[in-house]
Structure 1
Amino acid sequence: MNTASANSNRYDDQDQAEAWVARLNAPDSDAHDREAFERWLAQSPANARDYREVEQIHLLSAQLGDDDLLRAAARAARRDSAATRRRFHPWLAPGAAIAATLAVAIGVAAWIQRAPPAQVERYVTAIGEQRTIALSDGTTLLLDTHSAVTARFDRDSRTVEVAQGRVQFEVGRDSGQRRGPRPFLVRAGGGTIRDIGTTFQVSRDGSAVDVGLIEGEVEVAVGGAGGARVTSTLAPGEQVRIEGGGTLAPKRPLDLAVAQAWPRGDLVFKNRRLDQLLDEMNRYSKTQLRLEQPALGALKVSGVFHIDDQDALLAALERGWALQARRVGEHEILLQTARQ
């Protein structure tokens, strides 16, 4: 018998060993199967060796735990090993092929074990609360009042989802990563903000999202995954709105003095409408300020107002805009024109 024929017979024996491992581990295996298996083992010393080698792979796949993907890969490697040897490596000894399959399975299992699980954290603030969060990559989040975010970090990326409210991001360098910094993405509404080493703010009100850049650079994108992808790259002092329908509005200037004030606890108003000022102040308190006459909302107001000092705001409106405050409920104050 030539070498090729001998190897072919050995591969057939290997296939028989795989069939016996499967049969003996089947739920309906019985004494008749065991007797037939013993007869097969007695036919040749090589049968016992082949069976032990195949059984090793079977035990390894069982040790891979509950990971369906890994178990399927181990089964496929076991099924395909003989066919691969026949097609490409008729000179390869069965023991070497088994060792190679074991090495692949062990390597996959080790890779899975080394990959750390994703870190998922959720942060929220109550009405009137501001909170600074230091993330593991060196990023700092400043959550404004009544805000909620979820941070998900894994081996390949850093993603923060803004569910509601307003957040300032100072993105860390992600040092200590052997493959370099992981991408930093913010998802809000229908858009994605990709950081390029920056400080920026994201404000979400319902489905509409405003992104303002203080320093650095960010790319804001909507669409993709089957639709047209539209992007807008911001420079410092620019902002863009992601509309509720998932479209990007044109870029517009960002007032840096206003944007940098709320992280300090201040609201800066420069000749803006009174109703806009009250909307902002109401975000920080359970006691809501209302206007008795809607027309009063058109009054223009300028000044710096601290977010947790309603009394100072009311005193300023009474002095400078001739308004009078009247409490009409436990959590409601009505503003009206001062009576002469």
Structure 2
Amino acid sequence: MNKKTMTADDMAIQREAQAWVVRLASHAVTEDDAHAFRQWCAQNRAHATAFSQARSVWSAMRPAAMQLKQHEAIRQDAAAGMRKGRRAFLGGAVAASVAYLAFRPPMELWPSLGEVAAGFAADYQTATGEQRSVAMSDGLLVQMNTQTRINVQANVNNETGLELLSGEAEIQTDFHKENRVTVVAGGGVVSALRARFNIRYTGNNVCVTCVQGRVQVGQAIHRVTLDAGQQLSYRADDFGVPQAVNTSNVTAWRKRMLVFNQVALSEVVAEVNRYRPGKLILRSEELGRSKVQASFSIDRLDDVIALIRDAYGADVTQLPGGIVLLRKATA
């Protein structure tokens, strides 16, 4: 099956369309918003097409979002000892559904209103599947991976300051100069001089891998120096210990490859979702525990769907907008 490979422009249009769906459904739309939306649609036929597809996915996933909203409301009522009538509960759930979808998209299918605002505020950012190279002053090179947002801080005393808001980047300093780089991420600080390292900030976890040279990692009272071939992860309540890793697997994304060595399928799906427009959704915990030993081209990520179907016998349901439901096949 031949499919057109999405370009960075295609992916940017898709994210803009998703953002318009969220904004127009938020009940906070102004006349200026409506005018801006009409202009956006008129710019390019691809804009209107992308919006139509995004709206179709919204409509297809609304029942799941409503169910999630109702379950959450039931739990909240039970915790507070409240007993509401069924009619009052359903009426409130329906009234809140659109706002709920805007601020807490079901299964993270949409950028929330907060994410939309934050994304436009970053100095540098990449869309889903996009990679970008940024050459900064003093020989500092930043290779940005998919869904990455970075702010640049002041350059003081030959030290360049960056803030990784989310995503992943490979950072290389000039090995011939005394120029240090400092990266703030997730409440910690990573510092390096004459080094190359990979830093990833997804969810609440920060993972730092030293590829060349030495890298210092600090958080609160913790301080660790990583040598080449070592990796450390930390989060707000946990500072890990250095571990030896295969750096070529960590940096495979630089060659537009994803490498998995005996990784749970649920983790594979989560990683693929960072690169692929739309969403792969696992509907079986048992299927998600299956181990995967494989490598995939970032430009052919639908091969992952074929693997899950053929190697694990999963049922595959395709929905508009690149949404794919994966279930354990029934006998």
Q: TM-score, normalised by structure 2?
A: 0.59
Cα deviation for residue 322 of structure 1 reads 1.9
Offset, 1:312: 1.5
1:174 Cα offset (Å): 7.2
Worse-superposed segment, 182-191 or 247-256: 247-256
How far apart, in 1, do the equivalents of 2:169 and 2:310 lie?
Answer: 34
Tell me which residue corresponds to 1:50.
none
The alpha-carbon distance between structure 1 residues 292 and 222, as it changes in their structure 2 partners (threshold 3 A), is closer
CA–CA separation in structure 2 for the residues paired with 1:191 and 1:155: 19
> Which structure has the highest helix share of the two?
2
- Note the aligned Cα RMSD (angstroms): 2.0
Higher relative contact order (CA 8 A, sep 6+): 2
Q: Does the aligned pair in 1 maintain the 2:173–2:180 contact within 8 Å?
A: no
Correspondence 1:172 to 2:174? yes
Question: Is 1:253 the counterpart of 2:244 in the alignment?
Answer: yes
- Cα distance change on mapping 1:141 and 1:255 into 2, 3 Å: same
Unaligned runs of 5+ in 1: 1-120, 176-180, 224-228
Whole-angstrom distance in 2 between the partners of 1:183 and 1:242: 22
Match for residue 231 of structure 1 among 205, 223, 235: 223
- 1:137 touches 1:173 (CA, 8 Å); kept in 2? no
AA aligned opposite 1:300: K
Q: Deviations over 1:252-301 (max 9, x none)?
A: 22232311211111110111110000000001123111122221101111
8 A Cα contact 1:198 1:217, kept in partner: yes
Identity fraction in percent: 26
- Residue 123 of structure 1 aligns with which residue? 124
Matched AA of 1:325: V
Q: 2:263 aligns with which of 272, 277, 280?
A: 272
Could you say which residue in structure 2 is the equivalent of 1:301?
A: 292
Q: 1:328: how far off?
A: 3.7
The 2-side partners of 1:164 and 1:122 are apart by: 12
Q: Equivalents in 1 of 2:123, 2:322: separation in Å?
A: 29
Q: Please name the residue that 2:233 is paired with.
A: 241
- In the TM superposition, what is the alpha-carbon distance from 1:338 to its structure 2 partner? 4.0
Aligned residues of 2:197 and 2:208 also touching (Cα < 8 A)? yes
- CA offsets, 1:181-205, max 9 Å, x none? 3432111121111103111011112
Contact 1:137 1:174 in 2 (8 A): no
Letter in 2 for 1:320: A
Matches within 5 A, 1:274-289: 274-289=265-280
Unaligned runs of 5+ in 2: 1-121
Per the TM alignment, residue 242 of structure 1 is displaced from its structure 2 partner at its CA by: 2.1
Distance in 1 (alpha carbons) for counterparts of 2:198 and 2:163: 13
Query: Alignment partner for residue 182 of structure 2, among 180, 185, 198?
Result: 185
Letter in 2 for 1:234: L
Name the structure 2 match of 1:200. Answer: 197
Partner of 2:138: 137
Shift in alpha-carbon separation, 1:301–1:327, aligned structure 2, 3 A: same
The answer to whether residue 205 in structure 2 is matched with residue 213 in structure 1 is no
Query: What displacement does 1:143 show?
Result: 0.8
Are the equivalent residues in 1 in contact too, given 2:209–2:232 (CA < 8 A)?
yes
SS of alignment partner, residue 283 of structure 1: helix
Equivalent position of 2:318 in the other structure: 327
How far did 1:208 drift? 2.6
The amino acid of 2:258's aligned partner reads L
How far apart, CA to CA, are the structure 2 residues paired with 1:207 and 1:290?
Answer: 21
CA contact (8 A) 2:179 2:193 kept: no
1:316 aligns with 2:307: yes
> Which residue identity does 2:162 align to in structure 1?
V
2:230 aligned partner, one-letter code: E
Task: Give the C-alpha shift of residue 172 in structure 1.
Answer: 1.9
Asked if structure 2 preserves the Cα contact closer than 8 Å seen for 1:150 and 1:161, the reply is: yes
Q: Aligned-pair distance for 1:339?
A: 5.3
| Partner SS state of residue 130, structure 2 | coil
In the TM superposition, residue 153 of structure 1 has moved relative to its aligned partner by 4.5
Q: What SS class does the counterpart of residue 316 from structure 2 fall into?
A: strand
Structure 2 letter corresponding to 1:129:
E
C-alpha distance in structure 2 between counterparts of 1:314 and 1:285, whole Å: 11
CA contact (8 A) 1:129 1:144 kept: yes
Provide the residue aligned with 2:253 in structure 1: 262
